[in-house]
Amino acid sequence: SLARIKASGLKLQLCTNETQATREDFVRKLRAMGFDVSVAEVTAPAPAACRILRERGLRPHLLVHDDLVPEFAEIDKTNPNCVLLGDAAENFTYANLNEAFRVLIGMEKPVLISLGRGRYYKETDGLKLDVGAYMKALEYACDVQAEVVGKPAKRFFESALAEMGVPPEQAIMIGDDIVNDVGGAQRCGMRALQVRTGKYRPSDENHPDVKPDAYVNNLAEAVDIILKQL
Amino acid sequence: SLARIKASGLKLQLCTNETQATREDFVRKLRAMGFDVSVAEVTAPAPAACRILRERGLRPHLLVHDDLVPEFAEIDKTNPNCVLLGDAAENFTYANLNEAFRVLIGMEKPVLISLGRGRYYKETDGLKLDVGAYMKALEYACDVQAEVVGKPAKRFFESALAEMGVPPEQAIMIGDDIVNDVGGAQRCGMRALQVRTGKYRPSDENHPDVKPDAYVNNLAEAVDIILKQL
């Protein structure tokens, strides 16, 4: 399906909330699975966060997955004036959480940036708490509201659109997550299809706030429909 | 001051949110410091939680401090139908948090009981996240609201009053925490003094919701005033 989109001349951008690996690693994994994707075609929270850090002169204390650290290689991390939280997985230790908390509570005006607000996800060995849960813990302890980078943040979709040079009304989001993919894209002025695969649950079709522009059974069907309308 | 209260014939109950040790250990520590206190004179979250567990036939999955576990020795913990959260300190590992989360999310109607809702506290080696932060993480991940045992829960003060056999209008709370001590006791119909020691901060005197019946410089002054009015 990806190959068919690219062959048609349409522009393509993959929007992921992956924060356990660099974009380079993520693309390497996709290519190993046979997908013809380049790093420039991937919009991910960490590079988006780097742009924000640079724009606002923020020096982060990082609580992220070891494999994500290279994304912040060029960022000044001395004398931190914000805390940047990703899905740190095994790095979510009691000591690391207390350390991030101390950095945050020690600021005159605490700034917490979170790479996503997911509640949990499934791995082969079971369900795991996602970054959103730890974000809530720090928000509560410091009485602060995190700034979320990544889906469903409007700014995140805007940067994907900017990457393609396409206005929102000419773009279509295809995703399996009713809130993060469909809701986020629609709030940005895009149309959005929900695939009935992956995270999709039949109860999504009764979601109180978000209604996709259409449902499709899978990505292949979405591409069929889009290409037919060209 | 404690000795003077007891010598006066007034009844005394210590209300603590301590959940890193059994009441026995807590009293042992106080006695070693020279305070004449018995276990029956201490109201603490864990025994209060045990009453709730028994009343409602709840079998907890415990995420608490190792030293608190003996408080739950008599409680059936097989095939858990609730999660009980205390200030687990070093037991707040990534693995333990995920395990508590999985137990909770696996329930048809998740029940989360939290021994307090503190945001953080200070130890000799620095600030630490308190149980409330981890409670918020699990609440968010499971879309559930925790039932809080301990101050400032109304029921907690009621059980302290029941222990003494004293109606709320004849009791006075003396505490350093504007919300947990003063606010909680007042909502229960008691009067409450805030001491200007310990956790007290001058900004407490402008608290938007809670206003103590009086301020005192310390516990000794509180006892002076109370005994003078007898």
Q: pLDDT tens digits, residue range B133-191?
A: 999 999 999 999 999 999 999 989 998 999 999 999 999 999 999 999 999 999 999 99
Question: In this structure, are residues A37 and A27 in contact, taking their beta carbons and an 8 Å threshold?
Answer: yes
Render B125-144 in DSSP notation, one character per residue.
TEEEE-HHHHHHHHHHHHT-
pLDDT reading at B199 higher than 90: no
d(C-alpha A97, C-alpha A62), whole Å: 11
pLDDT reading at B125 higher than 90: no
Instruction: Calculate mean pLDDT across residues A72-92.
Output: 97
pLDDT, residue B214, reads: 96
Tokens matching residue B107:
């329930």
What percent of chain A has pLDDT above 90? Answer: 92
Residues of A in contact with B130 (CB under 8 A): 141
Residues of A in contact with B139 (CB under 8 A): 136
Over the range A59-78, which residues count as b (16 or more CB within 10 Å of their CB) and which as e? ebbbbbbeebeebbeeeeee
Enumerate chain A positions whose Cβ falls within 8 A of a Cβ in B: 89-90, 92-94, 97-98, 101-102, 105, 119-120, 126-130, 132-134, 136-143
pLDDT, residue B75, reads: 97
Residues of B in contact with A105 (CB under 8 A): 120, 127
Alpha-carbon gap: A175 to the closest alpha carbon of chain B (Å): 22
pLDDT reading at B85 higher than 90: yes
pLDDT, residue A122, reads: 85
Query: Per-residue confidence at A230, pLDDT binned at 50, 70, 90?
Result: confident
pLDDT, residue A157, reads: 95
pLDDT reading at A50 higher than 90: yes
Chains A, B: CB pairs < 8 Å:
77
- A133 contacts B141? CB cut-off 8 A: yes
The mean pLDDT value of chain B amounts to 95
d(C-alpha B134, C-alpha A136), whole Å: 9
Q: Give the model confidence (pLDDT) of A140-180 as tens digits.
A: 999 999 999 999 999 899 989 999 999 999 999 999 999 99
- Decide the pairing of beta strands A82-85 and A60-63: parallel
- A130 contacts B141? CB cut-off 8 A: yes
Instruction: Calculate mean pLDDT across residues A125-129.
Output: 92
What domains does chain A contain, in order, with CATH numbers?
1-12+168-228 (3.40.50.1000), 46-148 (3.40.50.1000)
pLDDT reading at B122 higher than 90: no
Quick one: residue B73, left, alpha or beta (phi over 0 = left, psi -120 to 50 = alpha)?
alpha
**CA closest to B98 among chain A residues:** A128
Smallest CA-to-CA distance from A82 within A100, A105, A56, A61 is with A61
Give CA separation, B208 vs A16, A94, B153, B203, B212, in Å.
42, 33, 19, 10, 12
Which residue from B93, B101, B136 is facing A94, i.e. has the nearest CB?
B93
pLDDT reading at A199 higher than 90: no
d(C-alpha A161, C-alpha A117), whole Å: 21
pLDDT, residue B13, reads: 96
Which residue from B120, B126, B137 is facing A129, i.e. has the nearest CB?
B137
Instruction: Calculate mean pLDDT across residues A221-228.
Output: 95
